[in-house]
Amino acid sequence: MKPVSSNEPAICVEGLDAGYADKVIFDRLSFQVERGELFVILGGSGCGKSTLLRLLIGLKSPSAGRILINGVDITTADEMAMNGVRTGIGVLFQSGALFGSMTLAENVALPLKEYTNLSPDAIERVVAMKLAMVSLAGHENHYPSELSGGMVKRAGLARAMALDPSILFFDEPSAGLDPITAAELDQLIKDLNRGLGTTVVVVTHDLESIMTIADRVIMLDGKKKGIIAEGDPRELKMHSQDPLVQSFFNREPLKTVL
């Protein structure tokens, strides 16, 4: 919603320690996401991808380290500063997380009503635009239960984009979708990233998606409690020497010595 300085990185994670109870998931994790980048966090099941996403969107607190979103450290920010950060980010949850009791228009209008002083007419126009952006023009009065899985995700994306956030987070966008719908959603993510200049962070393990959309990836490993590979996914697939990275990108079982 608010313009941000184009010099600073969109996201900066420094020396992050996090975990659950006595289980350490990240040990001194550090990385940056540049502005306008389409950045993918990948890794096998249980490596901490979803935990990292929860940390980045402020739903979980780390035990140490800093997370800077648009230059604001969300680990120390007070409620007011956090609200400023929240209006600058949008999140598409795995299930879409639309409110079932509201129509699509009401779902998308919710952040606009909460954070702006726009009149109902102006909100209606912005909602129509956001729904058109995700190819749901005319579906204003539909309820989520009347839509397919792919449409629900796109509507969730329209809601996430309602305030024109500078960063969009996606949790497993292609999960549960057929290949055509998943490809359409990938294309949409790419179009929005290129068209609106939005920084996009995607958490996924879908190889097709990663290869199609990612500018840069980091690969997490549960055993090493951090990043094991970072860079262009096509480069990593071709040149990485790490057996886990090789197995992941070539979709092969990990070779273990018997």
Dist. CA 150–CA 142, nearest whole Å: 14
**Distance of closest approach, residue 181 Cβ to other proteins, in angstroms:** 19
Contact pick of 3, 7, 21, 45 for other proteins (by CB under 8 A) = 3
Cβ atoms of residues 15 and 65 within 8 Å: yes
Residue 46 found at the interface with other proteins (CB under 8 A): no
Dist. CA 249–CA 92, nearest whole Å: 25
Cβ atoms of residues 98 and 111 within 8 Å: no
**Distance of closest approach, residue 157 Cβ to other proteins, in angstroms:** 13
Residue 253 found at the interface with other proteins (CB under 8 A): no
Task: Considering the complex, state which of residue 145 and residue 241 has its C-beta at the smaller distance from other proteins.
Answer: 145
Interacting positions 155-184 with other proteins (CB under 8 A): 161, 163-164
Residue 133 found at the interface with other proteins (CB under 8 A): yes
Task: Give the N- to C-terminal CA distance of the chain in Å, as an integer.
Answer: 55
Which residue has 């990485």 as its token pair?
240
Residue 89 found at the interface with other proteins (CB under 8 A): no
CA angle 130, 172, 111 (to 5 degrees): 35
Residues at the contact surface with other proteins, assessed by CB under 8 A: 1-3, 99-101, 112, 116, 118-119, 122, 125-126, 128-130, 132-133, 137-142, 144-146, 161, 163-164, 191, 194-197
